[in-house]
Structure 1
């Protein structure tokens, strides 16, 4: 299952974004309003939103081209990638891309909430 967020322009340089996205605690500011819990860890974070189970993510890669967050659970196979492309020294284009390997039943249940989550993250990234 592949989902895409809209492309946005962030008023930060790629280097500023890389620095921020390397710190698990900085992801709290990007979470939706429905955030119920958030816990930063050494190489990632776990969080829960209203009406959704707790999700644990590990920071797999942070580079000037992309940030990759992967599921820390062996039972869920997915990755959330933020593709980054510099526009100028102080602006970066960002797009969130979700890639998950789910059975058809799970896909049907999670597709809409995940798209809403990606849209909310995109909105919050745009504000930083």
Structure 2
């Protein structure tokens, strides 16, 4: 299952964004308004949103093309990538890309909430 957020322009350089997105504690400010809990843990973070179970993400790495987060739960196989392209020295194009390997039943249950989550994250990132 692949989901994409819309492409946005952020008034920060790629270097600034990479520095920020390499710190788990900085993700709290990007979470949707429905955030119930947030905990920095083991190179990543756990969070819970209203109406969703707790989710754990690990910061897999910051690459030239963006940041990669993976599931902290070995039974869930997915990645969330923040793809970045420099527009200028002070402006970066960002797009969130989700790739998950789920069975059809799980896919049906999580597709809409995940797309809503990606859209909410995109909206928060756009305000940086």
* Aligned residue in 1 for 2:2: 2
Aligned pairs for 1:18-33 within 5 A: 18-33=18-33
The alpha carbon displacement at 1:40 in A equals 1.1
Distance 1:55 1:61 in 2: 18
Distance 1:77 1:99 in 2: 9
| 3-state SS, counterpart of residue 123 of structure 2 | helix
| 3-state SS, counterpart of residue 108 of structure 1 | helix
Gaps of at least 5 residues in structure 2 are: none
Aligned pairs for 1:1-128 within 5 A: 1-128=1-128
What is the alpha-carbon root mean square deviation over aligned residues? 0.7
Distance 2:27 2:124 in 1: 10
The alpha carbon displacement at 1:10 in A equals 0.2
Gaps of at least 5 residues in structure 1 are: none
TM-score, length basis structure 2: 0.98
Distance 2:42 2:126 in 1: 26
Structure 1 stretches (4+) deviating beyond 2 angstroms? Answer: none
Distance 2:5 2:86 in 1: 18
Aligned length: 128
The alpha carbon displacement at 1:93 in A equals 0.2
TM-score, length basis structure 1: 0.98
